[in-house]
Amino acid sequence: MKVRTESGTKDVRAVWFEDGKTVMIDQRRLPHELIFVSFDRYEDVAESIRNMTTRGAPSIGATAAYGMCLAALSGADIDEAAKVMKAARPTANDLFYATDYMVEKVKAGADPIKSADGYAQSMVDKCTLIGNYGAELIKDGFKVMTHCNAGALATVDVGTALAPIRRAFADGKKFFVYASETRPRLQGMQLTAWELNQEGIDHAIIPDGSSGHYIREGVDMIIVGADRIAANGDFANKIGTFEKAVLAKEFGVPFYVAAPISTFDFNTKTGEDIVIENRSEEEVTMVGDIRIAPVGSPALNPAFDMTPAKYVTGFITEKGILKPNEIEKVKE
Ligand code: MRU
């Protein structure tokens, strides 16, 4: 993705490998600062996934691949490293997919850096295809709603939900994007809006609770990403996705999920079996160091929700746009 810096426009990825280190954008510092951090121990890479220095399913996958690369280069026990990596977060399928991919490569004697770089590049290529397929759906004058951040930051580069938006914009289409803020970690406001801003794409941040208001007023399509898609098309994505999908059906708004095949988990039969991560109360009750909730009131903080397949118009993948009952076709 192209970002504007004090020294001009720069092309950056969310995560990459350089001089024996895994380097990534510290996404917790955006939009205030564009800071890069690097790690040379796989355990620290796992921690960077856990504490959300990097986040978004495909970026988590690529980061895990680079973490596993460090494990292989340091001569660590690869199965032990895989266990540590997979324990970082429970919901995004890409974490497990990428870790297993690297275990297989390393055990087959493949070059760890080339393998991890190949994995990251394949994500970017898949996202580009998702953009090409999805852009066809965006027409001039459209109002498009998205949630959380499924942009370049979340996918190494390009994005999943933001890929069709980038491509349609590059094709000269004129449209408007609603980016819902995504309490409590604010990925919509701090990351999606930052990406749209860098590109110059017309958009506004909206409070999560106003989605229904705008959907009723007239949204033409909703595109979100996914963390895990079950074999029957039920899927988990950032908390707040489910109600948008239900409202979309109520008001006849097409609801699309953009994701690479690495996010599909054919071993999970339905969405009921997807593990939903619960994060700390403090993410809800605190803003920085300041408590904004009454002392003594507990908070609940599910990071994701599950949306049944019946609410999905289509899955935009690198293999085309699929209806929920067609996804078995792309089983790898
Ligand atoms: O908790 P996060 O920020 O990792 O959650 C991210 C999301 O829910 C994204 O929508 C999803 O991973 C798709 S990213 C292309």
Burial class of residue 3, CB neighbours in 10 A (0-12, 13-18, 19+): middle
- The Cα 21–Cα 40 span in angstroms is 5
How far does the centroid of ligand 1 lie from the alpha carbon of residue 95, in Å? 12
Average pLDDT, the chain: 97
Lowest mean pLDDT among 114-123, 251-260, 301-310, 320-329: 320-329
| CA 139/CA 255 separation, integer angstroms | 15
Q: How confident is the model at residue 77 (pLDDT cuts 50, 70, 90)?
A: very high
pLDDT of 190 higher than 90: yes
Query: 155 C-alpha vs ligand 1 centroid, how far in Å?
Result: 9
- Pocket-testing residue among 227, 276, 306, ligand 1, by greatest number of atoms within 8 A of Cβ: 227
> Could you tell me the pLDDT band of residue 178, with boundaries at 50, 70 and 90?
very high
Query: With left for phi above 0 and alpha for psi between -120 and 50, is residue 230 left, alpha or beta?
Result: beta
CB-ligand 1 contact for 148 (6 Å cutoff): yes
**Residue 26 bears catalytic tag:** no
Q: Which residues contact 259 (CB under 8 A, 6 or more apart)?
A: 57, 130, 160, 225, 226, 229, 235, 315, 316, 317
Residue 69's pLDDT band, with cuts at 50, 70 and 90, is very high
Q: How confident is the model at residue 7 (pLDDT cuts 50, 70, 90)?
A: confident
Ligand 1 contact, 154 CB (< 6 A): yes
Ligand 1 center from residue 220 Cα (angstroms): 22
Q: pLDDT tier at 43 (50, 70, 90 boundaries)?
A: very high
DSSP 324: G
For residue 55 and ligand 1, the question of a CB distance below 6 A is answered with yes
Total-model pTM: 0.97
